[in-house]
């Protein structure tokens, strides 16, 4: 995950080549959340709108969206939009891992996934200096942000939600 909380999507790309299939898997996640008020537990703090990034992945249960747990925390309603599309689809949170700041979303409408090429999940860490692309919707952005570079470091770092030391 990037420091802005957007899922990182990386794939090896030849120099000068583009990875258009990555764009078919990029998702913007829109969430209405209602945080509890621990000082006055009989009420909530009121609804807020949160946005984040997601990536379509293949699971044993079919296509799903991988996003950040903090994006869907205290969610009341979740919608997703694929890159380049204006149609919003309702999503359901299937699982949340607060320790690693990841969440898995499901969309019932199969047309949402039509034409998407899921991002493969690597079985081992890439070598340092590998070319990478990061795609997502950073905080405050409504348009897709694409950054390219090289993998310069892999380390254990405490995650903001759990303070558990995991790979970053």
Q: Who has greater pLDDT, 106 or 6? A: 106
d(CA 65, CA 29): 9
Q: What is the CA radius of gyration of the chain?
A: 16
d(CA 139, CA 34): 19
* pLDDT grade for 48, boundaries at 50, 70 and 90: confident
pTM for this predicted structure: 0.82
Residues 94, 80: contact at Cβ < 8 Å? no
* pLDDT grade for 5, boundaries at 50, 70 and 90: very low
Average pLDDT of 105-109? 97
Strands 26-36 and 165-167: unpaired
CB-based burial label for 126 (10 Å; 0-12, 13-18, 19+) = middle
Q: What is the pLDDT of residues 116-144, one digit of tens each?
A: 999 988 889 989 999 988 889 888 678 88
φ and ψ at residue 150, rounded to 5 degrees: -125, 150
| End-to-end C-alpha distance for the chain, whole angstroms | 7
HEC sequence for the chain: CCCCCCCCCCCCCCCCCCCHHHHCCEEEEEEEEEEECCCCCCCEEEEEEEEEEEEEEEECCEEEEEECHHHHCCEEEEEEEECCCCCCEEEEEEEEECCCCEEEEECCCHHHHCCCCCCCCCCCCCCCCCEEEEEECCCCCCCCEEEEEECCCCCEEECCCCCCEEEC
């Amino acid at each position: 995950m990037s420091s802005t909380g957007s899922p990182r999507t990386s794939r090896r790309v030849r120099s000068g080549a583009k990875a258009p299939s990555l764009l078919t898997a990029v998702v913007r996640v829109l969430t209405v959340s209602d945080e509890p008020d621990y000082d006055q537990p009989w009420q909530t703090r009121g609804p807020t709108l949160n946005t984040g990034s997601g990536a379509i992945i293949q699971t044993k249960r079919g296509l799903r969206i991988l996003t950040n747990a903090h994006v869907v925390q205290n969610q009341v309603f979740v919608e997703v939009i694929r890159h380049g599309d204006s149609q919003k689809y309702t999503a359901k949170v299937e699982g949340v891992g607060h320790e690693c700041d990841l969440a898995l979303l499901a969309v019932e409408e199969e047309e949402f996934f039509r034409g998407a090429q899921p991002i493969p999940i690597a079985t081992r860490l890439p070598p340092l200096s590998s070319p990478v692309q990061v795609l997502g919707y950073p905080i405050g952005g409504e348009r897709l942000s694409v950054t390219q570079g090289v993998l310069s470091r892999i380390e254990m770092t405490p995650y903001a939600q759990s303070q558990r030391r995991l790979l970053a």
